[in-house]
Amino acid sequence: MPPAPVLPQLEFTPIPETLRLLTSHTHADLVLFSDRNGIPLAYSKSQAAPLPPRAEVEMMAKLAAGQIAASREICRMIGEGDRVDFIFHEGERRNVFIYQLNTDFILTAVVDLAVVIGLVRIHADAAAHKLREILKKF
C-alpha cells in the first residue's frame, strides 16, 4: 500500500501506519485524519479506490467537522452534554463513520456497504483508541 499523505510533522509518528492498518483491516475506501476546523492532516486510501482530488478530501474533512459540531449541539440541547463519540451514516453504496478523537481531532472512515458494520466498529474503535494515545504525547 502506498504511504499515506501526511503533514511533515506527522510523518514520523505512528499516525500514518494507524490509518493504513485501519484501511487494510476494514477494506475502507478512505480513512481521513483531520482537525476540528476541518483541515485534513493525513489520509489513507484503498488501492482499488480512485484517489479523490485534494479539494474533495478537504471538503470531506470540513463536512465531518461540521457534523461533529452539529451533533454536539443537538446533544447539548437535549441534555446529553456535548460529548459525541462517533457518527454513523448509512448510504446507498457506502457507509461513513466519523469519530471525535478528542476536542481537536476527527477520524473519518468511508467503507463499502458490503463490509460488516461490526468489523468497522471494532477496528475503528481500536484505531481511535490508539490515535488518542498518540495525541496525548503531543
Instruction: Report all structural domains of the chain as residue ranges with CATH numbers, in order of start.
Output: 8-136 (3.30.450.30)
Distance CA 37, CA 122 (A): 26
pLDDT value, residue 9: 67
Decide if pLDDT at 137 tops 60. yes
- CA–CA gap between residue 116 and residue 125 (Å, rounded): 14
pLDDT of 41 > 80? The answer is yes
The span from the CA of 91 to the CA of 137, in Å, is 36
Instruction: Express the helix, strand and coil content of the chain in percent, nearest 5 each.
Output: 45, 25, 35
Instruction: Give the mean model confidence (pLDDT) for residues 22-43.
Output: 94
